[in-house]
Amino acid sequence: MTTALLRLAAVSHSYGARRAVDEVTVELPVGARHAIIGPNGAGKSTLLHLVAGTLRPTAGQIHYAGADISRWSAPRRARAGIARTWQHPALAHPLTAVQNVLLAVPGQRLSALRPRPWAVLAARTALTQVGLAEHADRPAAQLAYGDQRRLEIAVALAAQPRLLLLDEPSAGLAVGEVTRLAELIRALSADITVLLVDHNLDFVAAVADTVTVLHHGQHVATGAPAMIREHPEVRRVYLGTDVPTSPAVSSAPERPAAAAAGTPVLRVRNLRAGYVGASTLTDITLDVRAGRVTAVVGRNGAGKSTLLNALAGLHPTEPGTEILLHGQPLTGWDARRRARAGLGIVPQGRRLFAGLTVSEHLTLPRPRSRSGAVDTDQVLDLFPALAQRRRHRPHQLSGGEQQMLALARALLAGPDVLLLDEPSEGLAPAIVGQLATIVAGLAAAGTAVLLAEQNLALACQVGHDIAVLDRARIVRQIATTEIREYPTELHDLLTVPTAAPMPG
**Domain assignment present for 276:** yes
Residues 169-195: pLDDT tens digits? Answer: 887 677 778 888 899 999 999 999 999
Burial of 223 (0-12, 13-18, 19+ CB in 10 A): middle
Give the chain's mean pLDDT.
Answer: 84
Eight-state DSSP code of residue 139: B
319 with 184, same domain: the answer is no
Residue 349 has pLDDT above 70, yes or no: yes
Confidence of residue 155 (pLDDT cuts 50, 70, 90): very high
Confidence of residue 485 (pLDDT cuts 50, 70, 90): low
* CA dist list (Å): 76 to 12, 70, 81, 192, 367: 21, 11, 9, 18, 46
Beta bridge partners of 370: none
Residues 417-470: pLDDT tens digits? Answer: 999 998 887 677 777 888 888 899 889 988 999 999 877 888 888 999 999 888
Give the CATH number for residue 322: 3.40.50.300
Confidence of residue 490 (pLDDT cuts 50, 70, 90): low
The number of folded domains in the chain is 2
Residue 499 has pLDDT above 80, yes or no: no
285 with 225, same domain: the answer is no
Rounded Cα gap, residues 87 and 422, in angstroms: 13
Burial of 488 (0-12, 13-18, 19+ CB in 10 A): exposed
Q: What are phi and psi of 219, to 5 degrees?
A: -70, 130
Residues 206-231: pLDDT tens digits? Answer: 999 999 999 888 999 999 998 988 88
Compute the average pLDDT of residues 325-348: 92
Compute the average pLDDT of residues 315-328: 93
Residues 457-481: pLDDT tens digits? Answer: 888 889 999 998 887 888 888 888 8
Q: pLDDT at position 350, please?
A: 78
Residues 236-257: pLDDT tens digits? Answer: 776 554 444 444 433 444 444 3
**Domain assignment present for 245:** no
228 with 269, same domain: the answer is no
Q: pLDDT at position 176, please?
A: 78
Q: pLDDT at position 373, please?
A: 64
Q: pLDDT at position 498, please?
A: 37
235 with 268, same domain: the answer is no
Domain that holds residue 288: 263-350+414-488
CA torsion angle 93 95 101 107 (round to 10): -130
SS3 call for 82:
strand
Residues 53-101: pLDDT tens digits? Answer: 999 999 999 999 999 999 999 999 999 999 999 887 889 888 999 999 9
Residue 372 has pLDDT above 80, yes or no: no
SS3 call for 42:
coil
Reference 211, options 201, 222, 200; nearest CA is 222
Q: pLDDT at position 324, please?
A: 96
281 with 232, same domain: the answer is no
Ranked by mean pLDDT, the top range of 307-321, 350-364, 377-391 is: 307-321
423 with 342, same domain: the answer is yes
**Domain assignment present for 100:** yes
Q: Which residues, in sequence order, are CB contacts of 307 under 8 Å at separation 6+? A: 271, 273, 281, 284, 296, 452, 469
Asked if 83 contacts 126 with a C-beta cutoff of 8 angstroms, the reply is no
Q: Which amino acid is at 132?
A: L
Q: Is 466 left (phi over 0), alpha (psi -120 to 50) or beta?
A: beta
431 with 332, same domain: the answer is yes
Q: pLDDT at position 420, please?
A: 94
The angle that helices 175-186 and 145-158 make with each other, rounded to 10 degrees, is: 10
**Domain assignment present for 358:** no
**Domain assignment present for 255:** no
SS3 call for 266:
strand
**Domain assignment present for 380:** no
**Beta pairing, strands 343-346 & 4-15:** unpaired
Q: pLDDT at position 286, please?
A: 93
44 with 172, same domain: the answer is yes
Residue 278, number of CB atoms within 10 A of its CB: 9
83 with 26, same domain: the answer is yes
Asked if 472 contacts 282 with a C-beta cutoff of 8 angstroms, the reply is yes
Q: pLDDT at position 424, please?
A: 83
288 with 199, same domain: the answer is no
Cα 284 to chain centroid, rounded? 25
Q: pLDDT at position 431, please?
A: 76
Query: Which ranges of 383-487 does DSSP label H, i.e. alpha helix?
Result: 384-387, 399-412, 429-444, 456-462, 480-485
101 with 143, same domain: the answer is yes
Residue 379 has pLDDT above 90, yes or no: no
Q: pLDDT at position 258, please?
A: 36
**Beta pairing, strands 193-197 & 210-215:** unpaired
**Domain assignment present for 484:** yes
Percent of the chain with pLDDT over 90: 44
Residues 91-133: pLDDT tens digits? Answer: 988 899 999 999 898 876 655 557 788 889 999 999 999 889 9
**Beta pairing, strands 218-223 & 210-215:** antiparallel
219 with 324, same domain: the answer is no
Beta bridge partners of 289: 264
**Domain assignment present for 157:** yes
SS3 call for 449:
strand
